[in-house]
Structures are given as C-alpha cells and as structure tokens.
Chain A
Amino acid sequence: MRIVIAEDSVLLLDGLTRLLSAEGHDVTGHTTADGLVAALAPSTAGTAPLPDLVVTDVRMPPTHTDEGLRAAIHLRSVHPRLPVLVLSQYVEQRYARELFTADARGLGYVLKDRVADVDEFLDAVTRVADGGTVIDPEVVAQILARSPRSGTERLTARERQVLGLMAEGRSNTAIADRLVVGLPAVEKHVTSILAKLDLPPDADDHRRVLAVLRWLDQTTDPNGAPR
C-alpha cells in the first residue's frame, strides 16, 4: 500500500522507510508537517488518490511542539476516512483527547518506542490502514490510573484488563488471543463491563473505543467536575 511518513529525524525516517519498503509498501517521506500537508494537496484537490496511510511524528519543525498533531487533525478534518497513525516521543492524554474527537476509525496514537517491536508496529500499521483503532497501552494506562471515577472499582481485575484492551482498540477476538481465553469468556466480560459502567452494548469495536475513552476521560478533564 501507499504510505506517507512525516518525521523530522532523518535517521528515523530513513529507518522507517527501509522497514516499510521491505514489507512491500510504497513509502514517501517528509521531514516537516508543512511538507506532509503540501504533499497531500493534490489528493485534497482531487487530482491524485489519497494514500492508504499517513504516519506522522508529533514534534516537528519549526516550533518543535505539536506541528505533527495539528497536521494530523487538519488532515482528518479534510479527509475523515484518511487513516492516520500518530507517533509520539511521549504520550500525552491531552493529545489523545484532541485526536480522538468524532471518529476513531482508521486512527492510531502510539509511542515512537513501539517501532522497536517491529511485529507489533507493522500490525498497528496494518490495523490503522484497514480502518481500525490503535491506542498505545501507555495512554490507556495513564487514563486508567488517573481515573478516580466510581465504577472502575466495581470491576474485577480481569475486567480491568479487558477494559484496557478495549480502550486500546482491540477487537474481542484480539482480546481473547491476548488473554489466552475463549471468545465467549471475553464477550461475557465485555457485557459485564458495559453494564457496570452504564455504556451502550455496541458490537462495533470503534464506537466502543470512543465510548470507553470518553467515559474514562470525563473524570480526568481538568476543566470538568466529575458527574
């Protein structure tokens, strides 16, 4: 598939390009967020097809703050169906909240360090390009740790584990694989969690992610008081 990468570290850009090319992908690299947006301009104008995936770093020139994230949000607002995988040197819950606003379909936010786990990274690339949702376990752990919301304490340890994996965007099948249990057991846990947290029982993985994230995030919003 066709992948566009924006990464200011030439070294890492080079490595990513080689890695993805070796997997048989067609890779184009850019070192700035502006370069990325400019490269997608023909697609925006309709004169060229959209790439299958955009991978972008958060911190890039000129200000070295969150240019990549801004570009990702911009591209998602123009092309809601464009799959975007955001790589970040450190995970920040606020970035995740800004990114996952409306539709979690084809959206990923993972730590850059995950690149070292090549299999996992390639899996994330494929999942996001296929319209899945990938959220770094670190982000989920952060949100769970900071969520003092009543409800989570009623969950069993196993249910918390499942909740975390749900938030990461994993499907029931993937959760069952990860926990080495049967699919019916996972489905039972999920139903129990959704019931305990008053969330709508929804089969769609992506909407489930958003619901879980939003539910967890409500209490950690610095401006909002717990309901």
Chain B
Amino acid sequence: MSSTTLTRDDVTVVAPALCGARALLLAPVSGASWRAFGLAVIGWVWLWFVGITLFTLVFVGVATLPLAGFGLLLLTGTLWTAHWFAVVEAARLTAQTGVDVVAAPRRRIARRGFWRTVLGPLADGHAWAALGYVLLGLVVSTVAAGLLVGLSAAAVAGLGAPWFLEQRDVPVHSFADFMSNVGPVRTALVALLLVWVVPVLAQAFALLQAALGRGLLAQSETAAARAAQRAAEKAQRHAEAAQQDAEARAVRMVHRAEHLAQTRSDAVEAAADDRRRIERDLHDGAQQRLVALGMELGVARRRAATDPDTAVVALEHAHAEVKETLAELRDLVRGIHPAVLTDRGLDAALSALAARSPVPVTVCVADSDTLAACGPAAQAAAYFVVAEALTNTAKHAHASAVTVDVGCTAVDSTAVDNSTADDSTAVDDSSGAAGSRLRVVVTDDGIGGADTAAGTGLDGLRARVAALDGTFDLVSPPDGGTRLTVEVPCVS
C-alpha cells in the first residue's frame, strides 16, 4: 500500500546530507544531489508545460460551463488527463528521487451509464489533488530551479573569478566592483561554500517535491481504507447473496424432497389399495361365482340321469352364472386398465364413460392430436379422474348435467392457484420447460358439498394424481355445483 508521507529511510535516500555529517561533507559528489538538481530543472520545464495546459483547460471548461454542458465535458476530460499526469509524475518522482511514489488508482465507477461516465471523474478527489500538486509543484520547482541554477552560476563564477579577472578585461562592472570590494580570496571562499550549499539546497527541494508528490498524488490512507472497505463490503454482499441463494435453493430442494417422499408413499399406498380392491373384487365376485358355477354343474351331472328336471334347473343357473361372471370380469378389467383407452385413445374412452353415465354428459376434447402425445400414465389418470367424478356425480350429486373438459396447456405458473403453486414450481424444477400439462375439468350442476376425506374415491384419485406430480383442485360449495380440476404433466 502506498504511503502518503516520507519515512526516515525515504529522507535518507532523497536528502542524505540532512541526515549525517559524513553525507553532508560528501554532498557535492553525492548522486542524490545530482538527481535532485535534475529533478528541479526538469520539473521546472515539465510542470510549467503541464500546468499551462491543464489550467487553461480548467479555465476554459469553467468559462464554458453554461454552454450546454460543453464545459462539463472539458472539465471531465481535464480531470481524466490530470489522473494520467499524476501517474506519469509519480513515475518521474520515483525515478528521480529514488523513493517510491505511487499514484492513486482511478476512481472506479460502480455502474455503467452515460451520466456516471461523464460526471464520475469530477468526483475523483485524487484528480483534483493532482491539479493542486501541479500548482504547488510549479511554484516549488520554479523557486528551486531558479535558486539552484543561480547559485551554481555564482559558485562557478566565484571560483573562477581570480583567474577570470587576470585573463580578461571584464566588462561586468557590478561583479568587478563586488570582487574588488570583497576581494578574490573571500569570493572564492564564498563560492566554495556554495559548492556545499547548492547540493544541500537541491536535496532539500527534492525532499519537498517528493513530500508533495506523496501527499497529493498518492492515495490517501483514508481513501485507501475506504476503497478497501468498499471492496470488502462488496465481496461480503456477494458472499451473502450467494449464501442466500444457496439457502433458498437448499430450502427448495428440501421441499421438493419432502413433496416427492410424500407423493411416493401416497403412490405406493394407492397401488397397494388398488391391489387390495382388485383382490376383494375377484374374491367376492368372480371366485364365488365360479365356485357356485362348479357346484351347479356338479349337481347337474349328479342328477342328469336320475332327475333331469333338477339337472336342467342347475344348468340354467350355471349358464346365468357364466354370463354374470363374464360381465363382472369385464368391469373389473376395465377398472384395472380400460382397453378402449389403449386401443382408441382418451377421446373414445371418455365418450364410452359418458355413454355409460346415467347423468347426461357433455365431453369437450380440445385437440385429440395433442392428447395422443400425452403419456399413457397421464391419459390413464385423466380417464380415472373422469370415471370417478362421473360415478360420484351419479351417486351423490343429484345433477342434471355434467361437463367434461379435457385439453393440453403449456406450463404457466401464473395460471396455477396459490394453494398449488408449490407443487407447480416443484414440477418446473424437475421437468424443465419441456412439459405441457394435461388438464381435466369436470363440472356438474348438482348439490355440491363433495369432499376428499380419507378413504373416499376422491382421496385415492388425489394420491394417484400427486404421484404423477399433478395438481388436484376440488371446488364443491354446499350451496350447489361441483368443479374438479386436475392437471398432470403430459410426460412424467
């Protein structure tokens, strides 16, 4: 980090003559003295050039400020230039004094934008400080260069005076008068003194110049601290944002995992329920009928010869049993998976359901082509939702009309109710943008008041739909009408 003041070591480098008797004695032949001399002379020319340029720009800029912002642009450019001057000047000071001077970095503009770009440099304190340095450095280097060059000349003149006066008739009266008044020996002594005074003075000026450079060109400690703090704050903000992001993600993941665990166990339970139902249906239905059938046939065979009338009655019973058994098996198989759904598609299967319903049903299928693209699980879910809804309507709703609406919808999170929003975002996470959803709406004009208490058919449906990552929404106010809306991903 750059320092804004000169340390004891820095002083030893720039102005050793001020630090010890030996260095003072050796000042005329010290490299520091010559560097200091060069610093003053070059600085004098360079700073005048820069000073005139920059301050002309500043004055013109200020004068033209009213001219529709032209002056503002000029000032901005000037300050921008001042920054780069500071960089060059810091490098010159480093090279010519032997101590490091590091120019302040340019003020960072946090965000891009026209006005920020234009006005940013104007708020750069270091650029204004560089302008101040030009002004002060101009004065210091002018005084230094004048004094050093003058005194050097005086020293050369004083030392050469005796020889000079002998060699020529000197037309310089004032000097001759001076010499004659003081005397060549004293003059030589004064000149000899100057041989030490000039280097020491040069070193002193160099020290002053270096101190000015450090003070005005380098980044102040408070500014550096502020910059560091800003950087740290920014890093912390980034870290906090990243952490919040990670936490939010973790929370979403946990919710997702819980949702999946729940729907998974629901699905397993639903499957087990299905198997129990099928077993019960088979046990109570077909199996008993077949036992009875076997018995009737046994009776018929036993009595065929001796008591043909009883045998005929038994055969008639047996025949009826076979037909009943076939009908029951057909119903049961349809309940496991309807063949018409596989063979003819959802549209035909829903029509078949509607035809069997005792309540008049209107089926609206939006586009059978897009429906055909839906996966078999989604189609089966839609079929059983409608089947269960129609059964419930016929049993409980006392409805006079039912409408079944089926269609595919693109994923649109805003169209989903608040109550199901969690589910739908979870779905987005898993299936990405690829999944459109199969939407089934069953509406009736019955007495309403349906609920999805545990153990009802609707509860089983809800589990089945949840297992597919779908949403299930039942609106059935006690004052009438029931509307069941189910959405499942077309491909799960």
Contacts and interface: CB of A to CB of B under 8 A. Distances in A.
Contacts of B295: 12, 15-16, 19, 115-116, 118, 121
B92 interface: no
A15 to B, nearest CB: 5
Contact of B291 (A14, A18, A113, A119): A113
B288 A116 contact: no
B301 to A, nearest CB: 7
B292 A117 contact: no
Report, as a range, how many residues of chain B touch the other chain: 20 to 34
A227 interface: no
A92 to B, nearest CB: 14
B283 A89 contact: yes
Contacts of A15: 292, 295-296, 317
Nearest to B310: A22
B337 interface: no
B294 interface: yes
Interface string B264-286: 00000000000000001001100
A64 B288 CA distance: 14
B312 to A, nearest CB: 14
A9 B302 contact: no
Contacts of B229: none
What's the dominant secondary structure at chain A's contact region? helix
B302 A12 contact: no
Contacts of B350: none
Nearest to B300: A118
Contact of A116 (B280, B284, B294, B317): B294
Contact of A12 (B288, B298, B299, B310): B288
Nearest to B320: A11
A59 interface: yes
Given A64-B280, A89-B283, A11 B298 contact: no
Contact of B288 (A9, A22, A121): A9
A14 B289 CA distance: 12
B283 to A, nearest CB: 6
A19 B299 contact: yes
A81 interface: no
A112 interface: yes
Contacts of A116: 291, 293-295, 297-298
A16 B296 CA distance: 9
A118 B292 contact: no
Interface string A1-42: 000000001011011101100100000000000000000000
Contacts of B289: 11
Interface string B454-486: 000000000000000000000000000000000
Contacts of A14: 292
Closest 6 CB pairs of A and B: A116-B294, A118-B298, A9-B288, A15-B292, A115-B295, A12-B292
9 contacts: A9-B291, A11-B288, A15-B296, A89-B283, A113-B291, A113-B294, A115-B295, A116-B295, A117-B298
Given A115-B298, A119-B298, 13 more contacts: A9-B284, A9-B288, A9-B291, A12-B288, A12-B295, A18-B299, A19-B299, A59-B283, A89-B287, A115-B295, A116-B298, A118-B301, A118-B302
